[in-house]
Each structure stands twice: as structure tokens, then as C-alpha cells.
Structure 1
Amino acid sequence: ATEVVAVTIGPKASQEQLRTALALGADKAIHIETDEKLESLHIAKLLAKIVEQETPELVILGKQSIDSDNNQTGQMLAALTKRGQGTFASKVVIENGKVNVTREVDGGLQTVALNLPAVVTTDLRLNEPRYASLPNIMKAKRKPLEVIAADSLGVDLTPRIQLISVEEPAKRTAGIIVEDVAQLVEKLKTEAKVI
């Protein structure tokens, strides 16, 4: 990579994660600042604006976020930018203008080859987390961090999903202990009526 750009969307406190990314080797950072809780489509559209501005060959996103946990943003971004996508990557190899993405599937491993530019979402097995050294943390303070207001990118951030209610699941009743297999079979026949 000739340049690594870290991007995050969120309130001013999100800049801490960008500074960490800069300390770990990113060349510059972009913070799309908003205090609103955004939906996956909003985030994908905002990121599409940054992709249009920066024209990266490879966009790498996490598999899912911790807020809505729905695993949609990467796929939406690929569709909006008309790029190939590789999801749940556990290994990424770039060679000859292609990116080979290896992912875990039920039957083992699957490798897909994508033409660049592409969008890849990552699995936790892609890399080993590391810590930033103190000299790199100090250097990160001098690296560029651009702040862009989310509403300045021309994306409609009106919520499309409305949360109506959240309820706890019904309390489970206590189970029973049976003396032997014969009693278990009898209860399955007479009470549960599953045999």
C-alpha cells in the first residue's frame, strides 16, 4: 500500500480511535463527525462519498459494528460504489491487480478472487492485534486528521427505521429431573407429545 487512510463516523470522541490507527501506521485519518445514531445505509452512503473523494483501490471494513450488529454496511458500500466484495475475510492477498479473499464457510475455506478496486469485510482471524509504540503515538499527533461534518456530504440522514419497543423474553420455567430413561420416554409421550 502506498497510502493507508483510516475513516470513522461518530462523535468527537471517535478521534481517539483514529489517533490509534495513525499510531499503528495509517498515513492520514478522516473523521465524519455526527452525534446522530446512523443506520447502516446512512453509513454506507457517507463512506461512498469518501471513497469517491479518495479513490482507494481496496476498502477494508469490519464485519459488523457493535451498535446494530447487522453486517450490512460493507455489502451496501460495495453496491453503492459498484465494486466487487469479499466478506468475512480471514486472509487477504493482493497480486496482479486482484485481491484473493479467503473466508471460512461451513465446509472449510473458500477463496474468491476480486478485481481491484474492491470492498472487503474482515473476520477476527485476519490479523493479530498489536499495540502502538510510544514514539509512534507521538508521531501520530502530527499526522493529518481531517474532520468533515456528516451533513455537509449531501447524504439524507433521516432515520428510516423506528424502534417501537424492546421486551425481555418470557421467563423460563424450571425443568424436571427424571429417575431413568423409561420415565423420560413416558413423559415425552404423555406430557410433551413428541413421540
Structure 2
Amino acid sequence: MSHLLKKITEKIDHIELTLVDPQEPCDARVVSANSVAYNESFIPIWQDNYQIAVPKSWPIAQQSSINIIQLQDMPFINRAPCDALDTLKVVMADASIRFQPRANIKTIEYAWQLVCAGIGAALLPDWQEILEAEALVLMPVEDNRLIKDIGLAFNRNKENSFIISAVKEVCRSVRVS
């Protein structure tokens, strides 16, 4: 995200960015594909791959992956909203695995810190800074690929404005395949 915002500010002289909450009106927003409104167009930029983060001190942290059955009664950091976690909960319910929330929060940063503190497991993206965290381990869930497509959503009526056109160009140039 920081890289994208830096590229936008380099491309468009004197642009003033305002980061807003998801429900606030705006010209464009970086969101998951599931969050695109009916009147918006969407340009994919990257995918976030989600894995189970567990404290490094837990015995299960020695494994290279985790089986869905092993999630039974595991204490979880419940992060909402999170499309990937919603998908995992459905997979767990289909397998009759009980989701056991230990804490309820909204941000990845809080979830990450609670895992490091040993409070519970969390579903987190495999961002480099999380992968480098010394107090946790990320493990893929066997037979389940939990991803979120992230991209630029913008009002179709403003598609040809100078600003939106320039931002679209930047998004296409930084797109990760």
C-alpha cells in the first residue's frame, strides 16, 4: 500500500491524499474485490495470501502447514471485517470444526501483536513484515488457498477524469501478477 501511494504522489503533482473509512465518500479506494460497489469499476493490483499465524512458542508452530482438523477449539483472534477469515469460518463449519474466538479486533496490526503475545492464532496475510516477526509462525491451511484480491475501485462516472486516469495508470504499472 505504501509503495502504491508513493507511486501515485510521484505521478500526480500536488495531489492531496485523504485516507477515509470504507463507508465515507471518495473518488477512489483500494479495497478487496468483494467490497466493490455496484456503481464502481475495479482494477486488480495484488493478492493477499492468508495463512494461520500462531505464536512461535506453541508446539504446533514446528509444523510446515496446518490441517483444518487442528483448528478445532484453537483460540483465535477474530478480526472483522475480513473476507478471508469469513471463508475460513465457512470451511471450518462445513467440517464441523468450532471456531473459538479469544479476542475481537478490527486491524491486522492488532491481530499480529496479539498472536505475538500468545493470546491466540489469527488468519494473517503473508506480508514480509509479518513473515519476519520473530514471535510468530505463518502456516498455510492444507487444501485451502485463502486469498483476497486487492485493487482500485472507482466510480464509473469519474473514470475519465484526469486524477482517476492517472491513478489507474499507476495501479496498472505496479500490478503484481
Q: Verify same fold: TM over 0.5.
A: no
Higher relative contact order (CA 8 A, sep 6+): 2
- What is the TM-score with the length of structure 2 in the denominator? 0.28
Look at both structures and tell me which one has the larger radius of gyration over its CA atoms. 1
Q: Normalized per residue, which structure has more helix?
A: 2
